[in-house]
Structure 1
């Protein structure tokens, strides 16, 4: 039974689909918020050494007028002094006259390391709660991000398999609830180890929220609305990411932030009685009775009356119509599965035996790894820009919206290859340029940074479509999945990039690194064939011929613009 024909009758995106699509978007907001909450929960607040004899032992204050006299640091062009975090001057004995020492310059400034710290009371993160201080411990903060992406790798594979076997809706709801419970677990963690463990589990749950919402949403609308439905879901995801910065700006406490993004999703357990199962999945499982019930409800809400021919088709397709036919159908399906398995392996071997396709695959893998590495690296690095770090983070998240839109327009105007290469080169040039802009020129630096994020967002979205259109049919989903897995390894190392600033503070290594790999990926993208308007390849031989003069068949291809590893 062709569900697209059913949608032609009940409406491709009627009120029923619109309502359920909006309901799917709400958990995506919180999934996005959970995916980047660690940027602030494991963020580095302002802190300095506790100075015995100067600081109040019970209630020390970060901003004291005498700090510059007893703690080394730097003063910017506006006269703002920033103390070092883990060093102070060794104070001589003064017979208790500490006020005098703290208010005057020391004759001899011997620098020593400290073992107690004073934190800026404006922010509270896990750094303060568990004293994860100084350069030698900052890798522990980066490991929180790595644990998150490790959870994404684990959860993505599990969610896909479970959804195919047990249904989209139930796994979507369970992923959302699991995300909420483990997010609360992060908030009530009593030590670093348990926090990282829950961060990993939280990512396992989060990894199923966006992909399954995307699948359910795309499967409920007609072909002409699929691109639009995918893009709108990406918009909600970007807004959810930006909410993290807004919440922490208003409530700069990591526990409050984690609870605010984790507790509300518990209400989505009610979706079990509200959101319908994917009709396409039900039809694939030959559960015609449930599919018919949902379709009849959709037709009623959309103000459409189903034709007698459509209702009759459900009766004919019903398994109870003929036990013999059902048995024969099952045997045919088993034969088809065996044939499909054989075709997959045969095509896979043909791909590996083709130098053109192997080289093309390696280029795609590098581009995907670059996409993820730079995309998440820029998000994490946004809080270290000069200016208001909350505004910077919010803008870096929201700029993804025009990034997805740019990808959609560019792919259909200038083709996939130039859209991909152009987006990567835009990111490259703006990142490198931003690395040489003085920190005092805040708005120019932020503008270049935003253009870089816009470029890499567009590149990531384009990569999904371009990759899918280059692969043979029988291994298309496997190939995109493999590329997505490679991309996650790029994301795994992204949290460590900001640490480069600690070792080379005078060189903008993070931005130069992002720009360099984007430049290489953009140039390599030019070696890929154009696929826009081409017939999707069914075999390895057809895939190898893409871009040649014998590949001029035009196809009406509608592939949804997807988004970075959510």
Structure 2
């Protein structure tokens, strides 16, 4: 059964698909917030040494006018005094004596000693204060949370294999519930070790949500609407990240913030009764009766009629399913995935395409997360910068949507990568603040555009029977790239613009390699490896489909 032809009859993006599609985007919204929450839960919190000769631990304030008398530091160009966080001047008086929050320079020598108690800035509350993670020797503990997160994201790619075997819907629901439960566990953790464990598990859950929802949305619409479906899903991701920044501004306690983004997704277990399974997956698994029911419901809601020829095909499929044994169906469903993978990995053309996609997924993630994480280090308000860098993704997605429908997937991706590469390289040498921020935002816009395109394009090149597994494999490689992103700033040690130059070079190479891939604009999704292989290199957009079927564009 050709599902693309059926969609032409019942509506390729009708009312039924729109309702279900927007519902699918809700888990993406919450997954986005959870994916970067560690930026604030583990974020930098100002602290200094407690001076027991001058203050008590119960009433101490972070900012006081006598700090230069008790703490070593240096005066900045703007006149502020930058203190040493972990050392203090040795007191001249014997023992600890509290002088009523009044300190004199005469009370301290110029000899420094290590602190053993700290005073934190109360404008925010992070795990640094919760478990006294202070000073250079403990910074690795904060970095380890990010490492655990990205390690969990890599492990979470296994959800995609479950999506091909168990079904898209049930796997999405399980991943969402798991993310919600472990996010609550993060907030209620009673030790650092417990928090890191739940951070890892939370990442395992959220990593399956976006690709599963993305594939389900893509598989329920016609070939002329796949670009729109893919991009709108990304809007929800960007808004989720931006809203995280807004909530972090108002709720500076990491426990409250984590609960706010983790509790609401618990309600999405009701999707089991209101979201349909992917029809393409059901047809690929020979579950024809369930697929036909969903198609008939979609036609009813969309106010369209199914042709007699299609109804006849439905009856034939129902008879075929009844005549096949349950055991045979189970055996077939188990055996479909691995032969398809083996066939694809023994074909040089498909292997080369996969390698190009793997490189670009990794590079896109490296640059995307590298720029996102560095946004809070830009001059100005860290919350405003985070929200601004998140919202610039929306025009990036919109530009991508317009471009992929006008010029195609390949030219749009390569063009976006070239723009990102040039602006990143220039950003490294920009010494004017407004110019640096402008180049930074243009680079983020470009990488956002390319990241959204590669998900759509790769999904259109992979066969239905292993599409979820392939996207999971590509997503795993992107997580390897994101795992390296926190280390990019360390390249500044060798040469200050080096991180941006590396981003620019990798993006430029990716854009060139991508030109080798075939165009898929307005072409039907391949169901088998053979159909995927027959997608021609740089095919004529107005010509024939891989299956010699003319593409009819809507008026």
TM bin, normalised by shorter chain, reads 0.7 to 0.9
Find the aligned partners of 2:417 and 2:62 in 1 and give their Cα distance: 42
Which structure 2 residues correspond to residues 363-512 of structure 1 after superposition, within 5 A? Answer: 365-411=358-404, 419-437=412-430, 442-464=433-455, 482-498=473-489, 504=493, 509=496, 512=498
Q: Does the 8 Å CA contact 1:143/1:495 hold for their aligned counterparts?
A: no
Partner of 1:67: 67
SS at match of 1:488: helix
Kindly indicate whether residue 111 of structure 2 is the aligned counterpart of residue 120 of structure 1.
no
Structure 1 residues 362 and 127, CA, compared in 2 at 3 Å: closer, same or farther?
Answer: same
Find the aligned partners of 1:94 and 1:334 in 2 and give their Cα distance: 77
Q: Which moved further from structure 2: 304-313 or 92-101?
A: 92-101
Q: TM (normalized to structure 2)?
A: 0.84
Find the aligned partners of 2:420 and 2:106 in 1 and give their Cα distance: 47
Q: Does the 8 Å CA contact 1:347/1:474 hold for their aligned counterparts?
A: no
Q: Which moved further from structure 2: 92-101 or 490-499?
A: 92-101
Q: Does the 8 Å CA contact 1:148/1:199 hold for their aligned counterparts?
A: yes
Find the aligned partners of 1:3 and 1:314 in 2 and give their Cα distance: 12
Unaligned runs of at least 5 residues, structure 2:
547-555
Deviation (angstroms), 1:55? 2.7
CA deviations over 1:529-554 (Å, ceiling 9, x no partner):
455658999889x899957xxx7796
Kindly indicate whether residue 306 of structure 2 is the aligned counterpart of residue 315 of structure 1.
no
SS at match of 1:286: coil
Structure 1 residues 331 and 386, CA, compared in 2 at 3 Å: closer, same or farther?
Answer: closer
Partner of 2:503: 517
Find the aligned partners of 1:118 and 1:66 in 2 and give their Cα distance: 14
Deviation (angstroms), 1:228? 0.2
Structure 1 residues 334 and 230, CA, compared in 2 at 3 Å: closer, same or farther?
Answer: closer
Structure 1 residues 215 and 53, CA, compared in 2 at 3 Å: closer, same or farther?
Answer: same
CA deviations over 1:490-516 (Å, ceiling 9, x no partner):
211222345677xx5xx884x631332
Partner of 2:86: 86
Q: Does the 8 Å CA contact 1:347/1:475 hold for their aligned counterparts?
A: no
Find the aligned partners of 2:106 and 2:258 in 1 and give their Cα distance: 43
Q: Does the 8 Å CA contact 1:138/1:499 hold for their aligned counterparts?
A: no
Deviation (angstroms), 1:305? 3.6
Partner of 1:33: 33
Q: Which moved further from structure 2: 291-300 or 35-44?
A: 291-300
Deviation (angstroms), 1:320? 6.5
Partner of 1:190: 190
Q: TM (normalized to structure 1)?
A: 0.83
Structure 1 residues 462 and 74, CA, compared in 2 at 3 Å: closer, same or farther?
Answer: farther
Partner of 1:563: none
Find the aligned partners of 2:154 and 2:414 in 1 and give their Cα distance: 27
Q: Does the 8 Å CA contact 1:172/1:213 hold for their aligned counterparts?
A: yes
Find the aligned partners of 2:71 and 2:11 in 1 and give their Cα distance: 69
Structure 1 residues 445 and 115, CA, compared in 2 at 3 Å: closer, same or farther?
Answer: farther
Partner of 1:526: 512
Partner of 2:259: 259
Q: Does the 8 Å CA contact 1:375/1:457 hold for their aligned counterparts?
A: yes
Count of matched residue pairs: 540
Find the aligned partners of 1:57 and 1:338 in 2 and give their Cα distance: 63
Find the aligned partners of 2:236 and 2:312 in 1 and give their Cα distance: 39
Partner of 1:562: none
Deviation (angstroms), 1:231? 0.3
Partner of 1:227: 227
Deviation (angstroms), 1:91? 2.8
Q: Does the 8 Å CA contact 2:415/2:511 hold for their aligned counterparts?
A: no
Deviation (angstroms), 1:238? 0.6
Deviation (angstroms), 1:306? 3.5
Structure 1 residues 417 and 57, CA, compared in 2 at 3 Å: closer, same or farther?
Answer: same
Q: Which moved further from structure 2: 232-241 or 511-520?
A: 511-520
Partner of 1:295: 295
Find the aligned partners of 2:208 and 2:440 in 1 and give their Cα distance: 30
